[in-house]
Structure 1
């Protein structure tokens, strides 16, 4: 049966300045977080029940629609109920309630009716008590037939609370909220209560990545920069596009013989892209057009390498062109090895050469050894990574194939 979601957005926050649904979190709103939870759990349609439509909520709905979510606004309970077929499974989210992805995903696949629960402890006092041991976490799974029957019986009465009590009376399946350890379910009444949710979203945007640059360099840059920008609603795409433009300024400088500005611009562009990607992945699986943007940056770095090789060839001999060619050839070989790694179930070592790794090594090596030895060192690192990795995969292949 299809899964849909019904999100209540009717109560004011503690400040009286707006709805709970419009409380800010990571540059967006609480209702967008709730809608994202439902979408990741498999909800194909999201109905938001709201009597009045303030501007901030209207903008949040439009952002969700722009990102491809099928969002419907219902002004009355009758309108909301009419949006669901009797055979639809409905993920019900109470006004101002939050939880983690794992708990919501477990609820979405449970037999209906099902309730997400937390222990009856003082820290959960704002949530509705079910019995002496548990409180309702604000998330439930019901079917459309139950929703229609409840509305037919009570009309526009307190639908959410009534559905909850009927589900409890039917010995609904109970799903422990907060078992994933990510976000503890709670009822949010003011902005500061969303701090754990915001931290979890920001951590999602600071994924380590596979290489040493992502883990040990970009992490230091992204953490203090991406979070404040995201909290202010800064969009990632302008930063990402700016990083590509900055990268292409590097070969422009190099074409006139200014290789030092080029060597500085390339790492800065790489860091800017890491910030943009971190902001973009807070609310989405990946930054749009990521591969194209990365290709644009790496093409700029390749152009700088070509210009540097031509300069060395004119002064030291054309053999340096072959040395420089070993760098993109080795990186291409490492990239072609990815399907083999996936087939063999081999994790990629963190120390392997990559485009970003070579870009970050360029300035310090140039300071320590000069341009000729810098190109030689980068070529040795890239070629050595390729040879060592190919040898490791060749050694792993017979045992892996024999086991299968």
Structure 2
């Protein structure tokens, strides 16, 4: 059965400045976070129940629609109920409530009716108590027939609480809201209540791959830059496109013989793309057109490498063309090894393996220490050596399996 979502957005926040749904979180609003949770759990339609439509909420709804979400605004309970077919599975999200993706996805996969619960502990005192042991986390899974029946019985009376009580009386499946994940379920009644959610979203945006550049270089750069940009609502795509433009300025400089500025510009472009990716993944699984943007940046770096190789060939001989070709050959071999790694279930790649970004970051310091010829030789050795060592490790892992079969 299809999954839809019903988000309540009717209560004012404690500051008196607006609705709970418009409380700020990571540069956007709480209702956008709730809608993103529902969409990632599989909801193909999101109904927002709100009696009055302040400007901030209208802008949030428009942003969601611009991003492709099927968002419908219902001004009354009767209007909201009419939006759902009796056979629909409905993810009900109470006003101001947040939870982690893993818990919401587990709830969406449960049989109806189902409730997300948390232990009856002091930190959950604002959530509604179910019994002596548990409180409702503000998320429920019901079917359209139950929603229609409840509305027929009560009219516009407190629909959410009534649905909750009926589900509890029917021994609904209980999903532990804080069993796993980074975000503990809570109800946000004021801006500072969302601080833990914002920290978790920002931390999500700092996960940019598993190589040493991502872990030890980009992470240091992203932390002080990406969070303020996201908090100001800066879009990631202009930053990403700017990084590609900066990357292609490098071969333009190299064409006029300015290899040093080109060598510095490539890491700057790589860092800018990492920031863009971090800002984008705070709210989405991945930056749009990520593969195309990465390919464009790496094409710029390869163009610089080709120009550098041409310079070395002119001054030192054709042998340097073969040395330079070892760099893309090694990287291509590592890329082709990924399906083998997946088939062998070899786990996470070693952090030290060569990558395009790793070679780009090594280019300037190596050039300072060793000059252009030995820099190209060192990068070729690193790329080709990474491939040979990785391939040998995979072969050693595969041989016993082949022998056993």
Q: Under TM normalisation by the shorter chain, which class is it?
A: over 0.9
Aligned equivalents of 1:403, 1:54: Cα separation in 2 = 67
Cα offset for 1:387? 1.6
Which ranges of 4 or more aligned residues in structure 1 deviate by more than 4 Å? Answer: none
**Unaligned runs of at least 5 residues, structure 2:** none
Aligned equivalents of 1:272, 1:72: Cα separation in 2 = 36
Aligned equivalents of 1:315, 1:268: Cα separation in 2 = 29
Aligned equivalents of 1:128, 1:283: Cα separation in 2 = 28
Aligned equivalents of 2:229, 2:341: Cα separation in 1 = 36
| Residue pairs, 1:38-53, within 5 angstroms | 38-53=38-53
2:397 corresponds in structure 1 to: 396
Aligned equivalents of 1:223, 1:400: Cα separation in 2 = 43
Matched, 1:179 2:179: yes
Q: Larger deviation: 171-180 or 271-280? A: 171-180
Aligned equivalents of 1:102, 1:242: Cα separation in 2 = 34
Please report the RMSD computed on the Cα atoms of aligned residues, expressed in angstroms: 1.4
Q: Is the 8 A contact 1:344 1:400 kept in 2?
A: no
Distance 1:28 1:315, change over 3 A: same
Aligned equivalents of 1:178, 1:226: Cα separation in 2 = 27
Cα offset for 1:72? 1.0
Aligned equivalents of 2:403, 2:94: Cα separation in 1 = 53
Distance 1:390 1:133, change over 3 A: closer
1:381 corresponds in structure 2 to: 382
Distance 1:217 1:2, change over 3 A: same
1:360 corresponds in structure 2 to: 361
Q: Deviations over 1:17-52 (max 9, x none)?
A: 111001111111101111111112221211110111
Q: Is the 8 A contact 1:5 1:47 kept in 2?
A: yes
Aligned equivalents of 1:361, 1:289: Cα separation in 2 = 26
TM-score by length of 2: 0.97
2:198 corresponds in structure 1 to: 198
Aligned equivalents of 1:336, 1:358: Cα separation in 2 = 18
Aligned equivalents of 2:106, 2:343: Cα separation in 1 = 30
Aligned equivalents of 2:257, 2:339: Cα separation in 1 = 39
Q: Is the 8 A contact 1:127 1:136 kept in 2?
A: yes
Q: Deviations over 1:97-152 (max 9, x none)?
A: 11111221222222222221222222222111222222211111111111111111
The alignment partner of 1:217 has SS state of helix
Aligned equivalents of 1:14, 1:99: Cα separation in 2 = 20
TM-score by length of 1: 0.97
The alignment partner of 1:233 has SS state of coil
Cα offset for 1:296? 0.8
**Unaligned runs of at least 5 residues, structure 1:** none
